């Protein structure tokens, strides 16, 4: 099961950096999509959503000679997704 030298090289290739941090991604299961009444959007399309989240953890990592790093963990409790993206005039005037 040991990797060959060629296989090891595949693991050492740098992967492109993501545009956004991993922690900002939300994944919805089929059941959650159904509960939200969402139609499956196309990859690359944008949707608008609102959420209510509870702060479930606040922590500080203290490192010698480095600035403290503060983290906040949120648990999404309620979420609503627009089923169709509305134009600005539809949002403002209800058209």
SS3 content of the chain, % helix, strand, coil (to 5): 25, 25, 45
Q: Which residue has the higher pLDDT, 45 or 17?
A: 45
Q: What is the pLDDT of residue 82?
A: 78
- The fraction of the chain above a pLDDT of 90, given in percent, is 19
Structure tokens at 30: 């089929």
Rounded mean pLDDT of 11-35? 78
* Structure tokens, 66: 């480095």
* pLDDT (mean) for 28-53: 90
Q: Mean pLDDT across the stretch 2-17?
A: 68
User: Helix H segments across 24-87?
Assistant: 30-36
- In the structure, what pLDDT confidence band is assigned to residue 57 with cuts at 50, 70 and 90? very high
pLDDT digits (tens, 9 = 90+) for 80-95: 987 665 666 666 666 5
Record the pTM. 0.58
Q: How many helices (H) and strands (E) does the chain have?
A: 3, 2
Place of tokens 């959650």: 32
Give φ, ψ of 71 to 5 degrees. -130, 150
């Amino acid at each position: 099961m040991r990797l060959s030298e060629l296989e090891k090289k595949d693991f050492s290739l740098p992967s492109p950096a993501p545009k956004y941090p991993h922690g900002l991604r939300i994944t919805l299961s089929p059941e959650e999509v159904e509960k939200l009444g969402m139609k499956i959007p196309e990859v690359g399309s944008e949707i608008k959503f609102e959420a209510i989240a509870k702060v479930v953890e606040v922590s500080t990592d203290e490192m010698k000679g480095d600035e403290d790093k503060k983290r906040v963990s949120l648990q999404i409790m309620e979420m609503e997704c627009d089923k169709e993206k509305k134009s600005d005039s539809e949002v403002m005037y209800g058209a």
